[in-house]
Chains A and B, each alone.
Chain A
C-alpha cells in the first residue's frame, strides 16, 4: 500500500542522506521523494511516498523520529490533502500530429513550455493519476524524456504540520 509521509527536518548538511539511508536500510522502497525549504528557512520539508503495510509504516515513522534532526512527521491521509506533482514530458511530434497533441494538452490544462521542429515539451501539474492519464495518451506519439519532481502534499484547512 502506498503512503505519503511529510517530514519536517532541520535544514542541515547530511540530513537527507540520513533519511534516505534509513529507508533502504530498513528495507522500504521509496516511490518518490521531494525536498525543499519551508516558510522557515532553517526547516526543510521532505515528502516521501513509500510502499509499506500498516506495521511497516508505523515502524518507518518511529525510526524516522529517532533521527536527531527530524522535527515532526505526519502520515498524510489521502482524503484530507492536496497532492501535486510537476512533470515535464518531451514528446516527439511532426507537423501532422502537433495539433492533436495540443488538444490533449489543453484538455489536461497542461502547458507547452518549449516547441521544436520534432518535439514538444509539456509541463503538467497535478495528482499522480492525472499525470499518469496524460502520459498514457501521449505514449503513442513517442515520449522522448520524462522527468518528475515527486509528490508534494499539504493538508486541507488551516491546521499546520
Chain B
C-alpha cells in the first residue's frame, strides 16, 4: 500500500472533481499544498489579494456552471476570502474555498496566523469543514463539491490544518458521501404543479418572474419556450438577466429599484406572479406591503426557505427550476391554452404599449459623455455576445439597463451582497473559464480602486479582460442618494482627480485609453476589443448623471422617480 501526503490527496481529489483552475495565494500554512500544486497540471492563477481569488472563483463558476475553487493560507489569508465567500453565498454560487489552518495541536492557542475560519464563515457558507483527521480528507472534499453544486448552490469552506496536509494517507483511500440530512428536492410535487397550471390557465394578467435560479439550473431554454408559447410576459430579477432574451417582445426586463417602469407596473397590476428561482429581494419588491397587491403567487424554488419568506404564496412548488418548468409546461399545454392565450391578450397588449411608451431613456441628444450611451455602444459593438461583469453602484445599474442580455451566463454581477470591487476579479475569473469570449468589466472609479491590484493578475496571467471605466469622479450611487434624499450634501463621495487611470493600467503593463468626448467612444471600444492585452478605457462621463428610473428606498415600486418623457 503506497502512502501519499495529505496535500497530494487534496490535489488528487480536486482532479477527480474535474477541477482545472484554482485561484489562490500562498502562505505559511499552505506551502505543502503549493509544493504539490507545483507538480500538478491544475492551472493556478496567482491573485494579488485573496479577495480577488474568491471573486474570481465565484465568477468562474457563474460563467461556466462548474464549481469555482479558491485557496488561501490561514488567518489573514482566510479572512481576506470572506467577502467573496459571502458574495457567493448571497448569490447562490457553487464554490469551494480551501483554507490553510495552523496545526491541529495549535488550534485554539491564538497561534501565529490563526483564525477560526469555520466559525467566521458559518453564517456565509452553505456548509464548512475543519479537517482534523487525515482519513476524513477524501470524503470531506467529495462532500464539499457535492454540497456546493447540488440543491441551491453555494460556497463550502474546507479548513485544512498544515499537519493534515503533510500527514500520510493510503493513496487509494476513496471518499464517500454520507449526508443523511441533505436531500435536495429536484422534482416538484405533481399536485402542486397541476394546481399551478390551473392558476395560470385562469389568470388574465400573468407575469413570469425569472431569477438567478433559472440560469443556475439551466432552465432558460424551457422558460423561454414556455413564455413564448403561452404568451406570458417575463420580468427578470437582476441576477436573472440573460435567463430570458431581452430582445424578445415579451421581455419586460429588470424590475425593482432601478427596473423598468413597465416591469414595475406589471408587478403592480398583475393577478398572477409565476416566480421561478427568484427570492423577492427588497431591491425588487420595494415596500413589501405595496408590492403586487392584486397578485396570487406561484413560487417555484429549490430552497423551501425562500417560499413564503417575503411574500405570501398561493401555490408553492419546491424543486429545481428546470424540472418543475418542464412539468408545468406540459401540464399547462394539456389545458386548452388557445382559449387561455386569448384571455390574456389584452393584458399583453397593454404591457407592450407601456413598453413602447416608457422605454429606458437618457438624454440622447446631449453632447456630453453619457454612461448609458457607452453601454449601448458596447452592446452594439460586441453584438451582445460578450460576458459583462460589473462593479457595484451606478455602473452596475447602467450596465444592467442598457446592455441587452440574450443568453444565460453573460451577465455576472454581485447581487445580494452588492460588493464593490467584484467586477475586475470577476472578469478575470470569467475570462479564465471562457477564454473564447470577450469579457468586459463595466466599472466605476470608486469600485475598481478596491481591487486595482488585480490588474497585475490579469496582465501577468495573460487574461485579456477589458475594463470600461465609467469615471464620474464620485462614489456615484451614494452621491445620487445624497442628491435626492440628503439635500446634495456630498459627504465623502467626491473622489475626483486623484488617480490617472491610464497611467495606472500602464504601470501594470496593460493598455490605457482615455475618452473625454462622445465622438471617440466607438473608436475607443473598437480598439480595446482588438488589442490582445488588458485594456482599460477611462471614460470621463458626466459627473452628476443619475440612474433612472428609481424607486426611493421604502417606497412601493409603483412610485418611481422618472426620466422626464
Contacts and interface: CB of A to CB of B under 8 A. Distances in A.
Interface in A84-114: none
Given A62-B304, A62-B305, A65-B305, A71 B123 contact: no
A13 B127 CA distance: 13
A145 to B, nearest CB: 30
Given A59-B305, A63-B305, A71 B180 contact: yes
Contact of A21 (B122, B126, B182, B303): B122
B119 A68 contact: no
Given A59-B309, A66-B303, A18 B122 contact: yes
A55 B181 contact: no
Contacts of A18: 122
Given A55-B308, A59-B305, A62-B304, A68 B126 contact: yes
A58 B119 CA distance: 26
Contacts, number: 42
Nearest to A71: B181
B308 A14 contact: no
Contacts of A22: 123
A26 to B, nearest CB: 10
A25 interface: yes
B308 A68 contact: no
Residue of B147, B304, B305, B309 most packed against chain A (CB within 10 A): B305
B305 A68 contact: no
Contact of A66 (B119, B122, B180, B305): B305
B179 interface: yes
Given A21-B123, A55-B308, A59-B305, A68 B147 contact: yes
Contacts of A70: 181
Interface string A1-22: 0000000011001100110011
Interface string B98-136: 000000000000000000001100110011001010000
A158 B451 CA distance: 60
Contact of B130 (A14, A55, A62): A14
Interface residues of B, number: 18
Contacts of B305: 59, 62-63, 65-66
A52 to B, nearest CB: 14
Nearest to A10: B181
Given A13-B130, A62-B305, A69 B181 contact: yes
A58 B308 contact: yes
Contacts of A69: 181
Given A66-B305, A68-B126, A68-B127, A17 B119 contact: yes
Interface residues of A, number: 22
A83 B294 CA distance: 44
Interface of A: 9-10, 13-14, 17-18, 21-22, 25, 55, 58-59, 62-63, 65-72
B513 to A, nearest CB: 46
B179 A17 contact: no
20 contacts: A9-B181, A10-B181, A13-B130, A13-B132, A14-B118, A14-B130, A17-B122, A18-B122, A21-B122, A21-B123, A59-B305, A62-B304, A66-B126, A66-B303, A66-B305, A67-B181, A68-B182, A69-B181, A71-B180, A71-B181
A88 to B, nearest CB: 30
A68 B304 CA distance: 14
Residue of A14, A17, A66, A69 most packed against chain B (CB within 10 A): A66
Nearest to A43: B180
Contacts of A14: 118-119, 122, 130
Contacts of B132: 13
B181 A68 contact: yes
B412 to A, nearest CB: 25
Contacts of B122: 14, 17-18, 21
B95 to A, nearest CB: 16
Contacts of A25: 123
Nearest to A72: B181
Interface in B187-208: none
Contacts of A62: 304-305
B319 to A, nearest CB: 15
A18 B309 CA distance: 21
Nearest to B180: A71
Nearest to A19: B122
A65 B304 contact: yes
Nearest to B147: A68
Query: Which are the 5 A-B pairs with shortest beta-carbon distances?
Result: A62-B305, A68-B127, A71-B181, A68-B182, A70-B181
A100 B126 CA distance: 57
Residue of A21, A58, A68, A72 most packed against chain B (CB within 10 A): A68
A68 B179 contact: yes
Given A10-B180, A71-B180, 15 more contacts: A14-B119, A14-B122, A17-B119, A55-B308, A58-B308, A59-B305, A59-B308, A63-B305, A65-B304, A66-B305, A67-B181, A68-B179, A68-B181, A69-B181, A71-B181
A119 B147 CA distance: 55
A29 B127 CA distance: 23
A66 B301 CA distance: 14
Nearest to B308: A58
Nearest to B123: A25
Contacts of A21: 122-123
A55 B309 CA distance: 8
Contacts of B147: 68
Contacts of A68: 126-127, 147, 179, 181-182
Contacts of A13: 130, 132
A115 B127 CA distance: 49
Contacts of A59: 305, 308-309
A122 B119 CA distance: 38
A9 B309 CA distance: 24
A50 B500 CA distance: 56
A21 B125 CA distance: 13
A142 B179 CA distance: 51
A13 B119 CA distance: 11
Contacts of B123: 21-22, 25
Interface string B281-320: 0000000000000000000000111001100000000000
A140 B147 CA distance: 56
Contacts of A72: 181
B75 to A, nearest CB: 19
A67 B156 CA distance: 12
A122 to B, nearest CB: 37
Nearest to B156: A68
